[in-house]
Amino acid sequence: MTAITLNRTPSPPTPERCSNCGEECSESLRLCQVCSFDLGAPNVRAAHRLIQTEEVAKRFRIARESSQSRGVSREFDALADAVERESHVIIAVPAFAARAFFQDRRTLYQGYEALVGSGVRTPAPQDFDAERHAVSGKLFGHYAKNIRYGVLSLNNYSLKNYGPVHIQLKDIAVKNRVSFLFENSYLLFRQLDVRANMPFPFGYKCSWLNKKELVASKLEPNLLSGSSKTEWGNSLVNNGKTRDEDRCIEAHIYDSFNVDAVQNVEFTDDGTSRHDKLDIKIIKELWSPRKASGWKP
Ligand SMILES: [Zn+2]
C-alpha cells in the first residue's frame, strides 16, 4: 500500500458560489438556499475542489514515476486504462435485503444511517453505531444520511463480508453522484489518525472523472511485472477475514436508487441458511427476465 503522507492544510476560505444566482451557497447542500438551483451532489463537489484534485494528480504522478523506476510502467498504464474503462460501482447486500430490493420497483436502496434515522431498523451495538456516525459525520456532516456505500470494482464483485449478493450499478446511474475514498473509511481514519477537530487530509477523495488516478496510485506499490486485470481486481477489492481487514476503494453514492439502476448481479454463494437459499433463488428468478430482455447499461 502507498505510504500515507499527510496534508492537513486547512480548507481555503474561498466560499462556493451558485452558478445560477451568483450568491454564496452552502457546500453541504445540494440545492442553492437562495434560488434552489441544483448544485450537484455535495460529496462530488467536495471531491472536485482544486486542492483535492491537485493532491490526487500529484499522487498519480509520483506513482507513475515509481512504476517507471521499477520497470512496471506498462502494467501501470494498463491498470489506469482498465480502471477508466472497465471499473464499476458494486454493492454487496445480504440476501433478505436484496430480495426486497429486487421484488418491487418502488423499493429504494437505503444505507445504515437512513434506515436507523427513519426508524426502520435498530442501531448496531453502541460502540459500532457511535464509530459509524463519527466516521460518516466527519466525512459528510449532515448529509451522511444521504450516502449509500459500495466499492469500485474491476471484477463484478464487492466485499463478501457485506453479503452474498453483488449488485453492479449502471454507470449512468451513479457517475454524477458518486465519489470515492482511498480506503475503507474505518481503516483510513485509523491509519491517518483523523480527529474530530482537524481538517480531513486532502488527496484521498476523487470522483468518477479522476478515479483512475486514485486507484492506480494506491495499487502501484504492489504492481508486479506481467500482472493483469485478474490480480488488479483482487487487489482493488481485497477480502479480509472480517470487515476490519477488508481493503477497497470505497464508493459513496449520494441518494438512493431502485432496481432499474442495476446493471448486473453476481453471487458469491447460493446461501447457507434455508432462508438465504430461498431468497437467492427468488432474486435469480426476478433478475433473469430483466437480463434476458437486453438490459442496457
Ligand atoms: Zn442560487
Alpha carbon of 251 to ligand 1 centroid (Å): 28
How do the domains of the chain map onto residue ranges? Answer: 13-42, 48-292
Res. 11 pLDDT band, cuts 50 70 90: low
From the list 54, 11, 19, the residue with the least C-alpha distance to 37 is 19
Alpha carbon of 31 to ligand 1 centroid (Å): 8
Q: What is the dihedral of CA 234, 235, 238, 241, to 10 degrees?
A: 100
Alpha carbon of 50 to ligand 1 centroid (Å): 21
Alpha carbon of 110 to ligand 1 centroid (Å): 29
pLDDT over threshold 50, residue 210: yes
Give the pLDDT score at 105. Answer: 92
Alpha carbon of 140 to ligand 1 centroid (Å): 22
Alpha carbon of 41 to ligand 1 centroid (Å): 15
Q: Collect all residues with Cβ–Cβ distance below 8 Å to 65 and sequence separation of at least 6.
A: none
Distance CA(209)–CA(35), nearest Å, equals 28
- 71 burial via Cβ count (<10 Å: 0-12, 13-18, 19+): exposed
Alpha carbon of 38 to ligand 1 centroid (Å): 8
Alpha carbon of 39 to ligand 1 centroid (Å): 8
Alpha carbon of 17 to ligand 1 centroid (Å): 8
pLDDT over threshold 50, residue 180: yes
Give me the chain's average pLDDT, please. Answer: 91
pLDDT over threshold 90, residue 2: no
Alpha carbon of 141 to ligand 1 centroid (Å): 21
Alpha carbon of 51 to ligand 1 centroid (Å): 24
Residues 271-297 as b or e (16 or more Cβ within 10 Å = b):
beeeebeebbeebeebbeeeeeeeeee
pLDDT over threshold 70, residue 111: yes
* Residue 272 phi, psi (nearest 5): -105, -40
Q: What is the pTM of this model?
A: 0.92
Alpha carbon of 48 to ligand 1 centroid (Å): 19
Alpha carbon of 49 to ligand 1 centroid (Å): 19
* Residue 69 phi, psi (nearest 5): -70, -25
Alpha carbon of 255 to ligand 1 centroid (Å): 21
Alpha carbon of 24 to ligand 1 centroid (Å): 8
Alpha carbon of 63 to ligand 1 centroid (Å): 40
Q: Collect all residues with Cβ–Cβ distance below 8 Å to 126 and sequence separation of at least 6.
A: none
Distance CA(92)–CA(66), nearest Å, equals 33
Beta-bridge partner residues of 24? 17
Q: What is the mean pLDDT of residues 110-125?
A: 86
Give the pLDDT score at 297. Answer: 41
pLDDT over threshold 90, residue 114: no
Res. 1 pLDDT band, cuts 50 70 90: very low
Res. 113 pLDDT band, cuts 50 70 90: confident
Task: Give the three cell numbers for residue 164.
Answer: 452474498
pLDDT tens digits, 134-163: 999 999 999 999 999 999 999 999 999 999
Residues by chain with Cβ below 5 Å of ion ligand 1: 18, 20-21, 32, 34-35, 37
Alpha carbon of 14 to ligand 1 centroid (Å): 17
Alpha carbon of 55 to ligand 1 centroid (Å): 29
Alpha carbon of 146 to ligand 1 centroid (Å): 21
Among 10-19, 98-107, 254-263, where is mean pLDDT lowest?
10-19
Alpha carbon of 42 to ligand 1 centroid (Å): 15
